[in-house]
Structure 1
Amino acid sequence: MASQRGLPAAAFLFLLLAAVAAPVTCRFVVEKGSVSVLSPENLRGSHNGAIANFGVPNYAATLVGSIVYPDKGTDGCNSFKDRFKSPSSHPVILLLDRGECYFAKKAWYGQEAGAAAVLIVDNKDEPLITMDTPEASGYTEDYVTKITIPSALIEYPFGKALKKAVAEEKSGGGEVVVKLDWTESMPHPDDRVEYELWTNSNDECGLRCDEQINFVKNFKGHAQLLERGGYTLFTPHYITWYCPSAYLLSRQCKSQCINNGRYCAPDPEKDFGSGYEGKDVVIENLRQLCVHRVANETRRPWVWWDFVTDFHLRCSMKQGKYSMKCAEEVVLSLGLPGDKIKECMGDPTRDAENPVLKNEQDRQVGNGSRGDVTILPTLLINDVQYRGQLDRTAVLQAVCAGFKETTEPHVCLNSDLETNECLENHGGCWHDSNLNISACKDTFRGRVCQCPTVNDVHYSGDGYTSCRAVGPGRCALNNGGCWSETRDGKTFSACSENELKGCRCPSGFSGDGKQCTDINECKDGIACQCDRCSCKNNWGGFDCSCRGNYLYLKGEDKCIAGTTSKFPLYLMVLFVFCVGGTGVAGYIFYKYRLRSYMDSEIMAIMSQYMPIDNQSNEVHPLMRESTV
């Protein structure tokens, strides 16, 4: 609707945008990935592909596929009747021509026809541009949010060469295979990833607003884990415009701007006569910036995610609850210092610069390799603009791609980012089908072959062809990968807890530890070498015996003379019995005589000091009391 007086809302919004762009020339930076031709041989090499602003780019990943160029409908503006098939086991990378419809529609129809990725050939020889979504141009298309495959725009000469190679393939030439390699599309200068989200507190701007609100809600958990661990540095930003000086006194400027036209936001309903005003949005944007600043000063920067999520739930513009009072209640509920946030916000009615919002306007202008920020939402990771859907998993993969190899935190290795390469043939890594363990491990960058640790037993090896259990406890798990066998109730093993690695056949067996064979000690002349010895081999050992009346001494491997008559044995038993009886009798006699002798001696001594039996009761002189 048009306003009651002055410029129409759409026209005035255009002036606001123009005002921002006036001081500088807008610079749009195209984020590129490598498109390498693997075959045919004459086309081998790498080329640039401008990553689309929709779908899910393969950050930190690669995709090898066969190029398919349709016989009909090469512009991809209509649904394909049949699904595309690859001439080999590679997935299909669909090649389409630019023109006639939106880029996103081409990618959507390609995805529906079974393509794993879409390359769109430019229709003239010119610098590459970023393929944007229809919604960003003012249209709403439901299919845009459903695109999950990556796509890119390639240069006209390169696309023309690919088309020619596909035509030769159909007439008997070789398969056209390309590799999309975006492992280095995201820079990773150090062990910390710095990223920023340009967003808005307004929740009535259609699909874009819904997208960023859902992203904040869904990504909050990941963001707070990364921030708490010190792995990332996150900064929120909010786009602002300013009013041209000629319109400072207009109703439009006064309703959409604060600080005398310096900081503006479009009217949420695009109707200056009703509902919320643009300046309401600017003030709330300012509050959310200050929430992050104050939370960062109190060393809790991750609280911003809680505030924004709670604000959209409790203070929704759609529900008519978008107000300063509601926002302050959210601040209080999160334990944030409200006075410091108000101090940070300053006075929006003053005819003066606001330091916080001035910084936001300065940051909108691109610097270095980064382009200008012109649309919402915009996500920058390590100062490079993220391309693709604002989806939780896709963004986490892009953030994780910003870490140096092997420095990524654990959250980057969760199941949401696994490549599932281990599901097919264990990813080509070592595996033990008996124990159902594998050296294959999925990561967001792809699978790695790494010997595992199972039940505190560590496996060591190259991970591709071999892994063996090492360390204590290894024999309890599949016998440490060593030989073991049971016969006749006896079990022998080549695994020993005393050895931390390797297998060694036990005594009585020979082999490499993986296979052990019983040694025939009798046949090989190892045991029972004495005269009159006879040898009998058994499982894991042997038994020796002597022929005739000889006894076998195992320790000396010797036979000694012996007899089978029982008479000498009887004599020996009788002799031992007699000797034993004599000893017992002597002990008893000795003990009796000794006691009699001692009793008589004691009686003799005592008789000298006291009367005994019939002796007189006279006290012995020695026992009398002395007198003076």
Structure 2
Amino acid sequence: MGMTTCMGASLKKLVTLFLVITFIVKSCVFGNFVVEKSNIRVLSPVSLRSKHDSAIGNFGIPDYGGYLVGSVVYPDKGFYGCQAFEGDKPFRSKGSRPTVLLLDRGECYFALKAWNAQQAGAAAVLVADNIDEPLLTMDSPEMSTDADGYVEKIGIPSVFIEKSFGESLKEALKNKEDVVIKLDWRESVPHPDQRVEYELWTNSNDECGARCDEQMDFVKNFKGHAQILERGGYTLFTPHYITWYCPQAFILSSQCKSQCINHGRYCAPDPEQDFGAGYEGKDVVFENLRQLCVHRVANESGRSWVWWDYVTDFHFRCSLKNKRYSKECAEDVLKSLDLPVEKIKKCMGDPEADVENEVLRTEQELQVGRGSRGDVSILPTLVINNVQYRGKLERTAVLKAICSGFKENSDPPVCLTSELETNECLERNGGCWQDKESNTTACKDTFRGRVCECPVVNGVQYEGDGYLSCRAIGPGRCEVNNGGCWSETRHGLSFSACSSSQLSGCQCPQGFRGDGHTCEDIDECKAHAACQCDGCSCKNKWGGYECKCKGNLIYIKEQDVCIERSGSKFGWFLTLVILGVVTGAGIAGYIFYKYRLRSYMDSEIMAIMSQYMPLDTNQDNEASTGARPLQHGTAV
């Protein structure tokens, strides 16, 4: 009986072990493991100037998109960094540069070395290999019980370097040389265009310890940033879920049946690591499948960001850890988010069928690394622009890494939040051009640091190199610092060499000469350019001149002549006589005209009337002679 129990327990462990290693075996055959790198440039001493690769540690916070220049220090004792260093932060920066602590590989976990270095005031850690081999990724301890106390608290970057490079640094330090290096993560994430593609390999199970808590906390905390980026079209996010398969020899075992769906094709470890209690591994796989379909269906309707809402709501309402999970609970979350339940069910298919599941089969294929991306074998794993993220899965750190994947100068506003803003423009204006009078600067703060770029201010475009000069161009330029041209006011008069009719350039106004940046008054009188008429006198004024005529004459500028201001008495008399004559002639002409017109009209009227009234005329004639007209047939 005891032997049977022992064999049963051994079988359970064996099956669980197979579930874990079968994917790893597949990866070794078909995939590859990739070490994600940053680079180190030795700046001092001159004899060591060179560039080296370094492997980014999978803990702490790498400065993605940035760099760090620091002085290398090798401890006098405690070369491995496995014990806390003595003193109050002995490696805190004592000058203008932070301290980069160099430690040796061996004796304890990599993460513990970084933690002790951080506690001692170091800004970053280099761990030198102790054998000649290719670079490897320093990972945090998986099974250590004491790791939970410090791993999540590490906030400095750590990198792994080759033995030969470490030896050369130690030799220089031994000779009392000042060793200065530049740790550079700016090219650690590719940034080819204005959209970042990233994916999170996760799990719906929240009962797997510290790693599950870490990824769930990240999803909740990063949700806001993720949805802003997704809604704005800045990113393309895809969730993925790791599954394993059951070895053919164990498909019919109760262990595989409890941990797998579709006849052993897609499996997950038992949440409680206890086959006789709580939920089963196949519950986890089935919920993984549902969450994949949530993203697929939501993406088809243009609401891909709803995945973040579903996952966080599911964790709160249907947690496995809190024994609240059920199919009905999950579907209630779907309904509350207005997600089509039937469509998602169709996407999920039949978990009992002895067939491939199209969604999960695709996931297993994607787990195997291709090209520059390595295999995905641990949870959680974040992949940004096809390279795996290294470091703590924390909101600000991940946002910084994602932002480093945008093409330079195309960062979305969320990348310049207070947590990430570099504020390099606040110190010496970033070394860029600045006009203090108008408070205009060419310094622009971006996620990667400042750029010197001539700005646009109130619709006015500036042009120049951004470092030494910027000048306003285009319409409205004269409103900003007078377009960089000369201007001056004297005696209430203002003149400017900037004209809104000119899109660029400066030209001294009329009355001045110069290059437009400096202008001086022209003395028109001395140059004999004005007041050339007889009897004229010229007086120069700022921006012009004044001409005067002798006596009572007045100056007409357009003709450059002098005329009398008032005439003589004879002239006035003659003028009046002429006016009288002209007026009399006008009146006489008018009377003559009226008389002639009236006579003409009367004669015309009489002529017309005579044609229509002849009898009246005859009767008048007869009356005057006494004769009668002859009657028809009557003798005289």
Bin for the TM-score computed over the shorter chain = 0.7 to 0.9
What does the per-residue CA deviation read over 1:506-543, in whole Å, with 9 as the maximum and x for residues that have no partner? 11122222222222223344333455432212221110
Provide the residue aligned with 1:153 in structure 2: 160
Whichever residue aligns with residue 324 of structure 1, its letter is: K
* Aligned counterpart, 1:63: 68
Structure 2 distance, partners of 1:564, 1:293, is: 98
Structure 2 counterpart SS, 1:240: coil
Change (3 A) 1:483 1:333: same
CA distance in structure 1 between the partners assigned to 2:604 and 2:155 by the alignment: 116
Give the share of equivalent positions with the same residue, in percent. Answer: 60
RMSD: 3.9
- Paired letter, 2:454: C
Report what 1:305 is aligned to.
Answer: 308
Partner of 2:169: 162
| 2:449 equivalent in structure 1 | 446
Q: What CA distance in whole angstroms lies between the structure 2 residues aligned with 1:71 and 1:580?
A: 124
Paired residue type of 1:216: V
| Deviations 1:36-66, CA, capped at 9 Å, x for gaps | 1112110011111110112332333333333
Tell me which of 89, 96, 99 is aligned to 2:96: 89
Q: C-alpha offsets along residues 81-118 of structure 1, whole Å, 9 cap, x if unaligned? A: 14646575344333334445543344345445554432
Residue number in structure 1 paired with 2:111: 104
SS in structure 1 at match of 2:181: strand
In structure 2, distance between residues paired with 1:458 and 1:389: 43
| 1:450 Cα offset (Å) | 1.2
Q: Which residue of 2 aligns with 1:277?
A: 280
Match of 1:127 in 2: 134
CA distance in 1, matches of 2:167, 2:266: 48
Offset at 1:475? 1.4
CA displacement at 1:324 relative to structure 2? 0.9
| One-letter amino acid matched to 2:60 | G
One-letter amino acid of the structure 2 residue matched with residue 322 of structure 1 = Y
- Once the 2 structures are TM-superposed, how far is the Cα of residue 70 of structure 1 from its aligned partner? 4.4
Residue aligning to 2:294: 291
Question: What letter is aligned with 1:256?
Answer: Q
Change (3 A) 1:576 1:96: farther
| 1:432 partner letter | D
Residue in 1 that maps onto 2:633: none
1:330 is displaced (CA, Å) by: 2.8
Output the TM-score relative to the length of structure 2.
0.83
User: Counterpart in 1 of 2:259?
Assistant: 256
Give the AA of the match of 1:154: I
Q: Work out which of the residue numbers 39, 42, 59 in structure 2 matches 1:34.
A: 39
> 1:44 maps to what in 2?
49
Report deviation, 1:34. Answer: 1.0
- Contact 1:248–1:261 (Cα < 8 Å) also in 2: yes
Correspondence for 2:625: none
- The answer to which of 373-382 and 200-209 deviates more is 200-209
- 1:178 aligned onto 2:181: yes
- After superposition, the Cα gap between the structure-2 partners of 1:563 and 1:372, relative to the gap in structure 1 and judged at 3 Å, is closer
* CA 558–201 in structure 1, closer or farther in 2 if over 3 Å, else same: same
Which residue identity does 2:501 align to in structure 1?
N
Judge conservation of contact 2:289–2:359 (CA < 8 Å) in 1: yes
Structure 1, 424-433 or 360-369: larger mean CA deviation: 360-369
Q: Say how many residue pairs are matched.
A: 610
| Selected match of 2:379 from 376, 381, 403 | 376
Larger radius of gyration: 2
Which has the higher mean CA deviation after the structures are superposed, 376-385 or 74-83?
74-83
Give TM-score scaled by structure 1 length.
0.83
Kindly indicate whether the alpha-carbon contact (under 8 Å) linking 1:51 and 1:130 is maintained by their aligned counterparts in 2.
yes
Residue-by-residue CA offset, 1:572-600 (whole Å, 9 max, x unaligned): 66457635754674577467647865785
Q: CA deviation at 1:235?
A: 3.0
Q: State the Cα deviation string for residues 434-491 of structure 1 (Å, max 9, x = none).
A: 2212111122232221111111111111111111111111112222222222222221
Distance 1:207 1:554, change over 3 A: same
Q: For residues 606 and 114 of structure 1, do their structure 2 counterparts lie closer, same or farther at Cα, with a shift above 3 Å needed?
A: farther
Gaps of 5+ in 2: 621-636
User: Match for 1:141: what amino acid?
Assistant: D
Segment of structure 1 superposing worse, 174-183 or 375-384: 174-183
**1:498 counterpart residue number:** 501
Q: Which amino acid aligns with 1:36?
A: R
3-state SS, counterpart of residue 447 of structure 1:
strand
Could you tell me which residue of structure 2 aligns to residue 625 of structure 1? none
Measured at CA, do residues 575 and 163 of structure 1 come closer, stay the same or move farther in structure 2, by a change above 3 Å? Answer: farther
Distance 1:73 1:519 in 2: 81
Q: Which moved more, 1:131-140 or 1:421-430?
A: 131-140
Q: Identify if the C-alpha distance between structure 1 residues 311 and 580 changes in structure 2 by more than 3 Å, giving closer, same or farther.
A: farther
Task: Please identify, of 32-41 and 91-100, the stretch whose mean Cα deviation from structure 2 is larger.
Answer: 91-100
8 Å Cα contact 2:422-2:449 kept in structure 1: yes
| Residue 624 of structure 1: aligned partner | none
C-alpha change, 1:364 and 1:609, in structure 2 (3 Å) is same
Moved more, 90-99 or 468-477: 90-99
Compare 157-166 and 289-298 and name the one that shifted more. Answer: 289-298
- How far 1:228 sits from its partner (Å)? 5.9
What amino acid does structure 1 have at the position aligned with 2:296? R
After superposition, where does 1:6-17 map in structure 2 within 5 Å?
6-7=9-10, 13-17=16-20
